[in-house]
Amino acid sequence: SAVLYIVPTPIGNLDDITTRSLQVLSDVDLIACEDTRHSHRLLDHYSIKTALTALHEHNERGKADWLVQQLSEGKNIALISDAGTPLISDPGYHLVNRVREAGFRVVPLPGACAAITALSASGLPTDDFRFIGFLPAKSGQRKKVLQNLSSETSTLIFYESPHRILDSLTDVLDVLSDREAVLARELTKTFETFVTGAVSELIGALEEDTNQQRGEMVLMVKGIDKQAVTTELADLDTMIMASLKYL
């Protein structure tokens, strides 16, 4: 029976797509994408002529039903997004959910993802990390999210937009304190840059050279020391034991 393929596309450098991904994109009957004009340009580059249909935030639920219908008519479908891996801060969750519920196979292809690409070269711990994606746009809500992450020991990975990066770094400094952090910009592109240092140093570097505020970016912040958490818990334990004695 028909299959839904999840196909990653490049995050900048157009050579970053696998031969299998190109094969699947050529072979399927239909490609669901976020923006048909954007994806037309991409597919033109690889001379792929498969028909496109738009699936985005605003029509995903309705479109998912229609795509399940297409699968039941025997049509194979590929899902792509504007860049990188679909469903990672991109549409596709409802579709995958619906397609699995309807009993069709969902086949994922490996490929580019900004978060993993950034993390792999960051120099921050990679054994344990947590992907957060985009922080809320409003400072109050952003601080609340950060507050909930304040005792996280995993490396934290955020997606951020150029016009919010300074505000977000300021809130990170405020809520998470002056931790080690890395800003990975323009990955796989001409001006790929890693800005590293304490959060306050990142703020300084971005204020000094406003070019560093431009482009696409992944912000990574070190988690708190596991040691610190263990000590905190041990202290708590001692306190509880001490107060129990008086009961």
Residues that bind ligand SAM (CB under 6 A): 11-12, 81, 83-85, 88-90, 113-115, 159-161, 184, 186-189, 216-218
In angstroms and rounded to an integer, the radius of gyration of the C-alpha atoms of the chain is: 22
Q: Is the CB of 161 or the CB of 177 nearer to ligand SAM?
A: 161
Closest residue to ligand SAM using C-beta atoms: 84
From the CB of 84, what's the least distance to ligand SAM, in Å?
2
Q: Is the CB of 46 or the CB of 131 nearer to ligand SAM?
A: 131
Nearest Cα neighbor of 201 from 217, 221, 186 is 221
CB 105 within 8 A of CB 4: yes
From the CB of 216, what's the least distance to ligand SAM, in Å?
4
Q: Is the CB of 70 or the CB of 193 nearer to ligand SAM?
A: 193
Q: What angle do CA 209, 214, 218 make, to 5 degrees?
A: 110
Nearest Cα neighbor of 190 from 213, 215, 207, 209 is 215
From the CB of 193, what's the least distance to ligand SAM, in Å?
10
Q: What is the largest CA-CA distance in the chain?
A: 78
From the CB of 202, what's the least distance to ligand SAM, in Å?
15
Q: Is the CB of 88 or the CB of 173 nearer to ligand SAM?
A: 88
CA dist 141 and 135 (Å) reads 8
From the CB of 96, what's the least distance to ligand SAM, in Å?
14
Nearest Cα neighbor of 5 from 123, 121, 92 is 92
Q: Is the CB of 84 or the CB of 223 nearer to ligand SAM?
A: 84
CB 121 within 8 A of CB 147: no
